[in-house]
Amino acid sequence: MTETVTEYPNLFSPQKIGPRTAKNRVWMTAHSTQLVKDHNFTEQHVHYYAERARGGVGVITMEAMAVHPTTQPYKGKIFAFDPAVVPNYKKLAAAVHEHGTLLLAQPWHRGRETSGTVNRLPVWAPSSVPCTVYREMPHVLTHSEIDELVQGYVLAARYAVEGDLDGVEVHGLAHGYLLGQFLSPATNHRTDEFGGSFENRLRLVLDIIERTRAETGRDRIVGVRINGSDGDVPGGLSNADWTAIARAIADTGLVDYISVTQGTYIERMNIYGATPKQAGFQVEDTARIKAAVPELPVVVAGRMNTPELAESVLAAGKADMVGMARTLIADPEWANKARDGKANAIRPCVGANWCMASIVNSPLACVHNPAVGREAELGVGTLTEAQRHKRVAVVGGGPGGMRAALTAAQRGHHVTLFEQEAELGGQVKLIGRSETYAEWQGITDWLISQLGESTVDVKLTHRVEAGELDSGYDEVIVATGSTPLKHGWSSLHPASWGDGSIVPGADQWNVYSVNEVLSGKAEIGPRVMIFDDTGARQPLVAAEYLADRRHEVTVVTRLPQVSPDLEASRDLQATYRRVRGKGIRFVTDAEIAEIVEDSVVLRDVWTGETTTHESVDAVVLSTGNAAQDALFHELKGKTSVRAIGDCVSPRRIFNAIWEGELAGREI
């Protein structure tokens, strides 16, 4: 067999990991999928992991699995201590091993970084220090409960072996989880043999590693996931501390690799950095750990999103394997595309963290990969040629329209895509004009590049009239999007939304929408007030855009918190720190009562008390959008037409792309 020649020779060279050898240096790190049922794996898991193995990944560590019932932040957690996992381990192993990929379990306990809401059990921790996110007072672990914990790790290792997995990655040290809480003086205030000195704080970790190795034997991999740094945590563990921990673990001779990450729930963006967190932000901390344990393979993570970055880190000897999760969620074929010289075709992870937001209430999803979690129906190789090739018109060149046009063309249809503006991209393109969120343009840039390789006929600066479409096309997909509302009302006044009225002064010349600001169409004075009623990201995008141009910005919301939606994507803390550092001020629990020339009257939503803010040069409204569905209704009944995205109901980028994919498949 002829060896594949690749631009990334280090990335696609094999790596020995204890008793096994990975076919390349691409490591899919563990992440929640919420595909779980009854604390066990499902067929969806099999397809999900097999898709990434088929896509060329060398090693997969499956999602973190509970070693005890007290670690259940939500129902969707695998019980690694339950023998019921063994048959499903075998299914997963068979599906992944078919593609030459290694598969590992990741037993773990969250400690204080959870609550007892789901399991109705007390939260466990070495000391009673609450988590900044969950805020529940923990129960201090007794010696017998520590024994229970250790036994959970033992059972997890035993069942991993019985399930034909390649090994176990001991988790719970990193991200401020339970074993990390024992390691850190900030969270371990014990005075017994598990607290105080470095040796005492490390005691439980070393015991678990020893007991895990005793279960697996030497013919399976045993690894450990640690932090490279806890981040800016008073009393937390520094890179030097974690380097010492790594050296102590390596000295046991019981582990085959060390996987390095960062952060705790005090600094969550160090765990899963969203844009604008720089790519490779964990490399240097990992490199120092690698230098301290040269005998062990070390995995680096932290937005390792391009093959060029991965290759450079490996070539410099800063790590031996490249860990990635969101990158492979966005494109399961990342490795094969990179290996085969098709890196330009990789669907990029843009750091939008929709994957994080999605698992709050539903299974894992990606902002622009519709197949995630539904690989059996929508994954690689599932798109079939249409029985009859039709003439299809797609109206609207935002992400939904582009996705629909591309999918329909890939099925053999003759597609024309109409866009009234001079460029494709829709409102995502506007968000990407903010320097902070420039990376989001990767969503539309990738779709545009794929359209360029397709048969789709793209017609720009073409505003379509219904008469052009009610004959000559077999199918019409309307993706005309939405436009911002500028009546100024908050949703506390539903009747006013329908009576045609506006907040007094909302029709002044200096009142704009977020879109007008980001498109450069607004003439903005030095002092700006942004009013938001949505709780979404857009007001802060506009605020940063203006602050970066030296405007003085105040964000007002009728909610008790600015942009609370960012809590789901886990970047609220980091965003607040960034925007407040730019001088942006927040006013909560208020709505606009009136705009009078260069002053704004705000009303407290609880008391009705009003206050006047003087010297406001411009007001920017973020109060939702109106669906632009006139064309759809005009065509309905005259031709075969369907609507997708915001023109159905203004929502999210994900919904537009999802509906575009389905429309392209259904025609």
**pLDDT tens for each residue of 235-275:** 899 999 999 999 999 999 999 999 999 999 998 888 988 99
Within 10 angstroms of residue 234's Cβ, the number of other Cβ atoms is 7
Same domain, 545 and 510: yes
State which of 378, 412, 437 marks the end of a domain: 378
State which of 349, 378, 407 marks the end of a domain: 378
Flag whether 10 is in a domain. no
Whether residue 216 contacts residue 170, with contact meaning beta carbons closer than 8 Å, is answered with no
d(CA 539, CA 556): 9
For residue 242, give the CATH number of its domain.
Answer: 3.20.20.70
Flag whether 29 is in a domain. yes
d(CA 208, CA 169): 11
pLDDT at position 550 over 60: yes
Flag whether 5 is in a domain. no
Active site residues: 177
State which of 350, 378, 406 marks the end of a domain: 378
d(CA 251, CA 255): 9
Region 129-134: mean pLDDT is: 94
Per-residue pLDDT of 469-524, as tens digits, reads 988 899 999 999 999 999 999 999 999 999 999 999 999 999 999 999 999 989 89
CA distance to 49, 369, 446, 526, 545, per residue, from 57 (Å): 10, 18, 22, 51, 38
Per-residue pLDDT of 367-422, as tens digits, reads 999 999 999 999 999 999 999 999 999 999 999 999 999 999 999 999 999 999 99
Flag whether 360 is in a domain. yes
Region 633-638: mean pLDDT is: 95
Residue 503 is predicted with a pLDDT of 98
Structure tokens at 237: 């563990």
Our measurement of the distance from residue 506's CA atom to the centroid of its chain's CA atoms, rounded to an integer in Å, reads 36
Same domain, 212 and 243: yes
Same domain, 360 and 425: no
* Phi and psi, residue 511, nearest 5°: -110, 125
Whether residue 61 contacts residue 104, with contact meaning beta carbons closer than 8 Å, is answered with yes
Mean pLDDT of the chain: 96
Region 601-620: mean pLDDT is: 98
Flag whether 9 is in a domain. no
- Provide the phi-psi class of 587: left if phi over 0, else alpha when psi is between -120 and 50, else beta: beta
Region 289-315: mean pLDDT is: 98
Same domain, 25 and 113: yes
Per-residue pLDDT of 47-96, as tens digits, reads 999 999 999 999 999 999 999 999 998 888 999 999 999 999 999 999 99
Region 276-295: mean pLDDT is: 97
Flag whether 502 is in a domain. yes
Identify whether 276 is preceded by a cis peptide bond (ω within 30 of 0).
Answer: yes
Same domain, 515 and 563: yes
Residue 521 is predicted with a pLDDT of 87
Same domain, 500 and 450: no
Whether residue 15 contacts residue 21, with contact meaning beta carbons closer than 8 Å, is answered with yes
Residue type, 271: I
Within 10 angstroms of residue 6's Cβ, the number of other Cβ atoms is 17
For residue 610, give the CATH number of its domain.
Answer: 3.50.50.60
What is the H or E stretch that residue 131 is in?
none
pLDDT at position 134 over 50: yes
Residue 1 is predicted with a pLDDT of 37
pLDDT at position 579 over 80: yes
Flag whether 109 is in a domain. yes
Angle at 350 between CA 348 and CA 353, to 5 degrees: 125
Strands 552-557 and 102-108 come out as unpaired
Residue 3 is predicted with a pLDDT of 53
Flag whether 2 is in a domain. no
For residue 447, give the CATH number of its domain.
Answer: 3.40.50.720
Q: Name 107's bridge partners.
A: 65
Report the SS3 class of residue 224: strand
Same domain, 611 and 650: no
What ranges make up the beta strands (E) of 352-431?
A: 391-395, 414-418
Task: Find the range with the poorest average confidence among 220-229, 344-353, 463-472.
Answer: 463-472
Strands 482-484 and 625-627 come out as antiparallel
Residue 267 is predicted with a pLDDT of 83
Give the chain's domain count: 3
Same domain, 589 and 479: no
d(CA 66, CA 81): 7
Same domain, 323 and 437: no
Same domain, 69 and 128: yes
Residue 640 is predicted with a pLDDT of 96
Residue 424 is predicted with a pLDDT of 97
Same domain, 40 and 152: yes
pLDDT at position 4 over 80: no
Structure tokens at 295: 């005998």
Domain that holds residue 552: 489-623
pLDDT at position 2 over 50: no
Same domain, 448 and 471: yes
